[in-house]
Structure formats: structure tokens, C-alpha cells
Structure 1
């Protein structure tokens, strides 16, 4: 298997940032009358099935008992994150979920310090704070009095953000032990599969499966989009970069997602840039450049 270069991993994460930016608004397009746990389970299952032919051809279905347990843990984290996103969007806007998500890289840095010691995580704290401040300026300028998130929404998605923050460093920890040598396709398939199984099991308990009868063609279209582009593609790119770039830097590309959303408003929707936005964009650019430079010494993984 070939190695993923530092430049290639960062280029892939640029694409990741674009796909994540679109995912918040695509998720809001799905009907709110359908159980969010069922929606997330379908989304993860569609993503896993898309990779199944590649695994069957390359023998990626072979796995040890320890590997299954590791994938199950990672799948559970995915289930918690995506389920919380759909649930939070019932009570707040995509802007507010995007704002909360800016805290994930800082949480990831905290978990990284414990799970992957000796990786110079302290050197990334200042640039990450700079990028986070810029991202918050870009997002918060668009909120109004009617967009204040409810305490329930903040709590639910806060738990999901903690799960997502733990995902990258725990994945890197597993790749060094029970999942050693596993490529991004295999990692994505098994994690998505376990995530969907956890969610479907919960749907059987809470009765959420009954809302599946309300699925429309419009909902299925957005679910397939989310499965292919906002889930499968993003997590393949994520696993491709983990180990080449420090986990906290990998997830920090979400700050570029907020920048891309703002650029879309400027150039596509012809909105006049505000001074607050210009300052935020500059801070994001400076912080991300410093983060990428500080991550150059990370060890490569196979792709």
C-alpha cells in the first residue's frame, strides 16, 4: 500500500472542509417529522454499502475480534455525533450547530494530549485558538435574536461534539494497535456499519422505526447526498489524513468550512463583506497556516 503524503493529506482535507460546510444545510433539508436516529442510521448504512464492493474485491472483510471491538467503539462515537446533529436541528438553526462545532478541534486537542502523548499538542493550542476566534466571528455575525439556541439543543449537540472530538485521536490510537495497517476504505466501512447498527437497535427500542413510513423522495435524495458526500467521502478523507496530520489539526479544517460558507455569501450571493467577517477570515487563514506547519512532523499512515 502506498503512503499518503503530507501535501496530499492537506489537499484532501481542503475538499473535506467544503463537503462539511455543505452538510449542515443539507441535513436541515431532511423532514423534521422523521426520527433523527432512524435518519442517521440510514445515512451511515448507505455510506457503508457504497464501500462494500471495494472491500469484497480486496479482502477487507477479514477482521480480528479486537478489531471488531475497536470499530464498534468508533462506530458508537459516529452514531452519537450524527444522531445529536439531526436532533439538535429540530430545535435550532444550522448556523448555531455550526457555531458549536467550532469547539470540536479544541476538544480534540485535549483528548489528543491523553491518547497520543508526546505529539507536541501544546504548540498547536495558540494557532487553534486564533482560527477558532476567526471562525466564531464569521458565524456569529449572522445570528439574530430569534436564532438563540435552546439549552436542550446545546446539550444534545454538545455531547455529539465531544464524541466527534474523541473520534480522531482514538482512531489514531487504535491504528497503532488493534487496527494497525487498516486503510481508509476499510476503516470507513466498518465504522459506518457499526454506527448504523447501534442506531437501528435504538430505533427498535424507542419506536422511531415507525416514522420511516413518512420518508419522501425529497428526504431520500438528501439522505443519499449526505451518505455519499457528507459522510462517506468526508470520513474517507479524514482517515486518509489521520496519522499524516495531527488529529487536532485534521479536525481543525472545520474552521475553513466556515470560511468557505462566508466566501459563498460574498461571491455567489453577492453580499457585501463586513469588517467583522474580514477580520474573521484573516484569523482563520493565519491560524490554519500555523496549524499545518506545526503538524509537519506527524508520521504517515498507509492509504
Structure 2
């Protein structure tokens, strides 16, 4: 394995972490008067349409009934996550949703242990617990000094984070069976197309479609940004790096994104760091460093063997 390959993979994930961090603030820029389910449905639909030309060029449009069912389940998980993000942002800050997202890897470990068991998962537990503890301290900061985050927002987004944590292990499990041989392009297209359909159909019954008249050019711009950079680009960067560096190193960049979110909050928001935030950021940093060292040792052992 070439050193340059690892450097490029890590640089890709650094960009991934920046895009993830920026996505939470971008999502908060969309008008809160518009139904969040409608916003999410449009976002996923835009993503699917961007990938449609690539899908047609590859000629990868044939799908079995079992394959469609698998994509439908994965699409539902995506719909739950993105829908919960927009809904939670009505009641809490982008900082809180962004830092709570860092708990997803820890949740993913639990699902991986059930769906795709691996003895090496144990090596990630302690570093992820440290980083997760730091994320919890950051979440406790609340929207304003001394104010805890909305319990409703944490509950709603917590459900969405569980759905996102289940997404990766379930995708891996399905790709070994009903979705065997599916590449990142068709996986992204079908999953997001199904997710968009679920949400837009729900809007038809709930009446959320009526808020579409409130959609401005500014809202449309932010939706396109979220679709292209916060969803499609991050998905591509993730799959670009995951075959080069150890999985634990890839997962650890989620923790790096929370440091970027906190820095955005301190510098652009002109907020003085609180002791609770400093402690949380420190724990996240220590946890991420431990994960990177663990991954490096695993790679060296693999090369030597």
C-alpha cells in the first residue's frame, strides 16, 4: 500500500469532516416555515436525479424484487434521519444536532456487533466511549448559556441517529445478499429515490406539501447545496477512502467534524468557550487520536504479515 494513497485518503476524509460540519449550519439556513418532511423529500430527490445520468451510463438499472425491498428499507432509514434533522433544528441549535451526530459511530458499533460481528470491533470501544463522552458534554451546552437542549429535539434527532447508525451495517449485510455486487452509484440512487418517495407521499397525506409555496430561491439554493455537497459528496468521499484506510480511521473522522462545528461556533459565532465545551472538545480529540493510532497499528500488522 503506497503512502501517497493513505495521504490522499486521509485528505479526502478531512474534506468529508468539513462538509459534514458545514451541513448542520447550512440546514439551519432553510426557512423553518417550510415543512421539514417536504424539505427532506426534495433534498433526497435532488440527490437521486444527480446520480441518474451515471446510472444510465453504467446500464445498472436492472433490479430484482428482493433488491428493491432492500433499497426501500435503506431509503426509509435515510428518510428518518434527514427528516429528524430538519425537525430537530426547529427546537435546538445546529451545534447541538452536529455534536449529537458524533454519537452515531458508537451506536453503529452496537448494530455491527449484531449484523456483521468482527473480533476487531472491541478495539474501537474505549476510544469511541471517550469521544462520545466528549460529544455528550458538548451537547449539554444547550442553545444558550446555562440552557439544556430541548428534550423533544434530542428525542426526535436521537431516533434519526439510530436510523443512520443502522444504515451502514445493514447496507453491508444486504450487499452480501440481496444487493450483492451493487456499487456506490446505484446504491445511492435507489436508496435516496425510495427515501424521497416515502417522504413526499407522507407530505401528500399530512398536508405538508402546502408549505411548498413558501419555498424561496434562497431555500432552494441551500437545499441544492445540502443535496450535492452534504449528501452526494460525502457519500463519495467515504467510499473513496474506506477501501484504502482502516474502517476505524474512517469512522473517527465523524468525531473530527464535531471539533470543526465547535470551532465554527467559537470563531464565527463569537462565543467564548465554556469549561464544559473545552472538556468535551478535549475528550473528542483524545478519542479520535486513539482511534487513529489503533488503525495505524492494525495497518502495520497487516502489511508485516
Same fold (TM > 0.5): yes
Q: Aligned-pair RMSD on alpha carbons?
A: 2.7
Q: Is 1:207 equivalent to 2:207 in the alignment?
A: yes
SS in 2 for 1:41: helix
User: Could you tell me whether the CA contact under 8 Å between 2:142 and 2:149 is conserved in 1?
Assistant: no
**Which residue is equivalent to 1:24?**
24
**Which residue is equivalent to 2:73?**
73
**Which residue is equivalent to 1:287?**
287
Give runs of aligned pairs for residues 134-153 of structure 1, distance below 5 A: 134-137=134-137, 140-141=140-141, 143-145=143-145, 147-153=147-153
Q: Is 1:42 equivalent to 2:71 in the alignment?
A: no
**Which residue is equivalent to 2:55?**
55
Give the TM-score taking structure 2 as reference length.
0.85
SS in 1 for 2:21: helix
**1:52, CA displacement in angstroms?**
1.0
Distance in 1, matches of 2:115 and 2:8, equals: 25
Task: Rate the CA distance shift 1:93–1:279 in 2: closer, same or farther, 3 A.
Answer: closer
Segments of 5+ residues of structure 2 without an aligned counterpart are 300-305
Task: Rate the CA distance shift 1:87–1:274 in 2: closer, same or farther, 3 A.
Answer: closer
Of 217-226 and 168-177, the range deviating more from structure 2: 168-177
Distance in 1, matches of 2:227 and 2:134, equals: 29
Distance in 2, matches of 1:247 and 1:195, equals: 26
Task: Rate the CA distance shift 1:244–1:198 in 2: closer, same or farther, 3 A.
Answer: farther
**1:47, CA displacement in angstroms?**
0.9
Of 283-292 and 253-262, the range deviating more from structure 2: 283-292
Give the TM-score taking structure 1 as reference length.
0.85
Task: Rate the CA distance shift 1:243–1:170 in 2: closer, same or farther, 3 A.
Answer: farther
Of 263-272 and 142-151, the range deviating more from structure 2: 263-272
SS in 1 for 2:49: helix
**1:138, CA displacement in angstroms?**
5.0
Of 104-113 and 275-284, the range deviating more from structure 2: 275-284
**Which residue is equivalent to 1:257?**
257
Task: Rate the CA distance shift 1:149–1:262 in 2: closer, same or farther, 3 A.
Answer: closer
User: Could you tell me whether the CA contact under 8 Å between 1:13 and 1:250 is conserved in 2?
Assistant: yes
Distance in 2, matches of 1:263 and 1:97, equals: 15
User: Could you tell me whether the CA contact under 8 Å between 2:93 and 2:143 is conserved in 1?
Assistant: no
Deviations 1:155-209 (A, max 9, x none): 2111111101101111111222222222222211111111101111111111111
**Which residue is equivalent to 2:225?**
225
User: Could you tell me whether the CA contact under 8 Å between 2:99 and 2:261 is conserved in 1?
Assistant: no
Distance in 2, matches of 1:30 and 1:68, equals: 32
User: Could you tell me whether the CA contact under 8 Å between 1:112 and 1:247 is conserved in 2?
Assistant: no
**1:57, CA displacement in angstroms?**
1.0
Distance in 1, matches of 2:246 and 2:205, equals: 38
**1:217, CA displacement in angstroms?**
0.6
SS in 2 for 1:179: coil
**Which residue is equivalent to 1:82?**
82
Task: Rate the CA distance shift 1:60–1:120 in 2: closer, same or farther, 3 A.
Answer: same
Give runs of aligned pairs for residues 138-217 of structure 1, distance below 5 A: 140-141=140-141, 143-145=143-145, 147-217=147-217
**1:108, CA displacement in angstroms?**
0.8
**1:33, CA displacement in angstroms?**
0.9
Of 56-65 and 249-258, the range deviating more from structure 2: 249-258
User: Could you tell me whether the CA contact under 8 Å between 1:108 and 1:248 is conserved in 2?
Assistant: no
Q: Is 1:101 equivalent to 2:101 in the alignment?
A: yes
Segments of 5+ residues of structure 1 without an aligned counterpart are 299-303
**Which residue is equivalent to 1:301?**
none
